[in-house]
Structure 1
Amino acid sequence: MNIALSAFFILLLILPGYIYLNAYERRENNTLEKKPFEASSATAIVCAFVIQFIYAGIVHSLLNPIDFALCLKILSGTKLTSDEVSQLTPDIWIVGIYFIVLFYASHGAGKLMQSQVFKYNPYKDSKFAFDTPWYYELKGFLSREKDAQFIKISATQDTSEGTYLYYGMLQDFYLTKDGQLDRLVISEATRRHIKDDETPVNVAETSDNRFYEIKGDRLIIKYENIINLNVEYYYITQKSKCTIKEYD
């Protein structure tokens, strides 16, 4: 009984670390290469220790004294005396509230820390950047020197009529649960048949007017049907007048 209680108590103590990491990590951009279980567990235990140290200190000092000696006895699996059990029983609801609030606080702390990282270190080259390549690439957050104001996408896609090149302004993107790119959403979409590139371009017919506009506000392209994907980053710099720089 004491061993089971000890194991359950340990689980309650380290669970906030996992909750914090789960809230902190950028889940919609997870990579396929997961962290080893040992590394994740070690990080979660360290986070749980820090969270418990701060949270227990606040509760013990300001709200309700904590019997740390009794906690250590439960952790070690030592058999509790009848007096200790009778002392613990009326406070079960307080213990329950303690951990419920702690779990919510851990989740909130993870979300808060995530937002602060994106606010103060939003770029891919930051040492605090998340392992979320699609997010940084398709948001244009490469570095402070390369912070794109807008992005254009060129994508070749096979259809029943042949291979087409789609071109437009990137509006949004969606990922699968495994972190793979699922679909792209572009506006001001145009397309042209790749076969048209086989004929030489004369002065009257430029590469741009080979494209024809696709009616609609947003075009959704499935990534699994894309053969090649090209990303163009546009940076607006202001000197004597506004200029636009384009980088592929």
Structure 2
Amino acid sequence: MNVALPALIVFLVLLPGFIFRIRFKRVERTSLDFSPFGRIAAGAVMSAAVAHVAWLTLSYLLFGQRFDPLVLMQLLSSAPASQIEAARAVADDFDWIAAYFVTLLFASFVVPMLLRVAITRYRLDRAASPLRAMLRFHEAPWYYLLTGADFGEDDAPDFVIVAAIVEVGKEAVLYTGVLDNFYFDSEGQLDRLVLQNVARRALANDKDAGGVVDDASRFYQVDGDSFVLRYSEMITLNVQYVHLG
């Protein structure tokens, strides 16, 4: 017990930091995170420290509850007598301690989501933002490319048009349409694009003997509400940001 209890306490103290880190990050991979453990641990420890300082401050201001560091040190001690004494102190304030950790874990789950919404809404993570070093989601490059998130709020594109060359029956075919959504595989690679108002043409029809053929004769509409393009089948991909105003 004298070994397991300190490990359990450390886990419980740091858990809000790990939850915050997982919920706050915008990543394009769903497989196991292979980031260096030191970077993961450092970010989680810093997040947990900030969360505990904030929650202890609120506990004191709202309910007059004070944190006794001696109790925590006794819980982390390997001496059974110290652990027993600290356990009694915890039992005396169990209702407050339980409410403290339950609300802190809930906040660690919700607050990062609200922060992400605010960062995205006010574009605080765009390339030109002075806060980009702290707030940019560096593990989501496709998100910035395909959404136009790097534009300022006044310059944000109204929609995004993509054009991709796909080989169909040993013939290069250009598909173009309005980007509706995009998805990733478990490794964070772009998996597929969902387009609307899609048109296609064979690249061989770009020119005729007399010169360039007009777009109306080169393109024809693809019937359907949503058209799915798999990234693995694309030869090239072009992204165009369209501003109506």
TM-score (norm 2): 0.83
**Following TM superposition, by how much is the alpha carbon of 1:116 offset from its aligned partner in structure 2, in angstroms?**
1.6
Say yes or no: does 1:216 pair with 2:224: yes
C-alpha separation between the residues in 1 aligned to 2:86 and 2:29? 48
State the aligned residue count: 236
Q: Indicate the residue corresponding to 2:136 in structure 1.
A: 129
SS for the counterpart of 1:44 is helix
Over the aligned positions, Cα root-mean-square deviation in angstroms equals: 2.8
Q: What is the CA-CA distance between 1:65 and the residue it aligns to? A: 4.8
Q: State the distance in 1 between where 2:221 and 2:57 align.
A: 63
Aligned to 1:12: 12
The answer to whether the 8 A contact 2:165-2:175 is kept is yes
Deviations 1:187-211 (A, max 9, x none): 11111112223634547x4144211
Match of 2:195 among 177, 186, 191: 186
Q: Is residue 140–residue 146 contact of structure 1 (8 Å, CA) maintained in 2?
A: no
Q: 1:109 to 1:191 in 2, by over 3 A?
A: same
Task: List per-residue Cα deviations over 1:91-149 (Å, max 9, x = no partner).
Answer: 55654443232211111121122112112215243313211211111112223275222
C-alpha contact (below 8 Å) 2:72/2:86 kept by paired residues: no
SS at match of 2:80: coil
| Structure 2: tracts of 5 or more residues without a match | none
Gap change, CA 1:201 and 1:9, over 3 Å in 2: farther
Pair 1:23–1:32, CA change in 2 (3 A): closer
Matched, 1:115 2:117: yes
Q: Which amino acid aligns with 1:39?
A: R
Say yes or no: does 1:157 pair with 2:200: no
Deviation per residue, 1:22-62 (Å, 9 max, x gap): 11111346899964221121111011011011112323443
Structure 1 pair 83–73 and aligned structure 2 pair: CA distance change class (3 A): closer
Q: Which residue, 201, 218, 233 being the options, matches 1:225?
A: 233
Cα contact 1:21–1:44 (8 A) shared by 2: yes
Give unpaired runs (5+ residues) of structure 1.
Answer: 238-248
| SS of alignment partner, residue 141 of structure 1 | coil
Flag the 1:86–1:40 CA change in 2: closer, same or farther, 3 A.
Answer: closer
Report the equivalent of 1:246: none
Identity %: 29
Q: Residues 32, 134 of structure 1: CA spacing in aligned structure 2 closer, same or farther, 3 A cutoff? A: farther
